[in-house]
Amino acid sequence: MLAERGCFGELGFLPQNVRSLSIKGGDLSKLDRTALVNCLDSDLYIVFGASYIRGWLAKFLVKNRALNIHIGLSPYYRGSSCNFWALYDNNPNYVGATIHMLSEGLDSGPILYHCVPRWDGENPFEFTMKSALVAHKSLTSRIKNGEVFEISPTKQCKNDELRYTKNADFT
C-alpha cells in the first residue's frame, strides 16, 4: 500500500462523472449483458487489471477494438506477475507495461507500444509499480492527442516469449 500511495497518491473517491461496478475477482466473464448494459455504448474500451476475459464479453471487446494495459512486456513476459518474474529472472530491462489490442487469448493481442519505467534506485516492488503509472500516463496522453489511434499494431511473436506464468506459479 505504501508503494501504491507513493506512485498514485493518497486514497480518494472517484470523480462525480465516473461510475464503477464492483465485482469479485474472476467474475467478470460470468456476467451477462444485462449487468453491463449501461457501459456497452462507449467510444473507447480500456481493460486494466481484469482477470482473463472470456465468452460474449471478450468477443464484444475485441470487435470494438478494446485496448488492454498489460503490466509486463509482451511477448517476453505474459500471464501473471510478469514484472516480478522479469526481476526474478534477472531481466530488469523487461520490466514495464504493454499497451495492446485486446484479444481472446491472454495478453496475446497485437502490440501498440511498450511503456518502461525509469529506475531511480527505489526498491524492486516500487520500481515495478511504476510500470502501471507510466502506462496510464502515456495512454491517457496518447488518447487525448489522438496518437494511439494512428499506431499500427504489431503481431506478437510467440518465439520471443521468455516466460508465461499463472497465479499458481507465484508462490
Q: What is the pLDDT of residues 79-98, one digit of tens each?
A: 889 999 999 999 999 999 99
- Alpha-carbon span 142 to 55, nearest angstrom: 29
* pLDDT of res. 24: 86
Q: Pick from 161, 100, 91, 81: which is nearest to 119 by CA?
A: 91
For the segment 133-149, what is each residue's pLDDT rounded down to a tens digit?
A: 999 999 999 999 999 99
DSSP annotation of 47 reads E
Strands 97-101 and 111-115, by their bridges, are antiparallel
Instruction: Look at residue 23 and tell me whether its pLDDT is greater than 90.
Output: no
* pLDDT of res. 150: 97
Rounded alpha-carbon distances, angstroms, from residue 77 to 23, 73, 87? 27, 6, 11
Stated pTM of the model: 0.90
Q: Pick from 98, 96, 89, 148: which is nearest to 119 by CA?
A: 96
- Alpha-carbon span 87 to 60, nearest angstrom: 35
Beta-bridge partner residues of 46: 67
Q: Which residue has the higher pLDDT, 165 or 101?
A: 101
The average pLDDT across 112-126 equals 93
The average pLDDT across 147-156 equals 97
Q: Which three cell numbers stand for residue 149?
A: 489511434
- Alpha-carbon span 63 to 14, nearest angstrom: 29
Q: Which three cell numbers stand for residue 82?
A: 510478469
Rounded alpha-carbon distances, angstroms, from residue 40 to 16, 32, 150? 20, 12, 24
* pLDDT of res. 12: 85
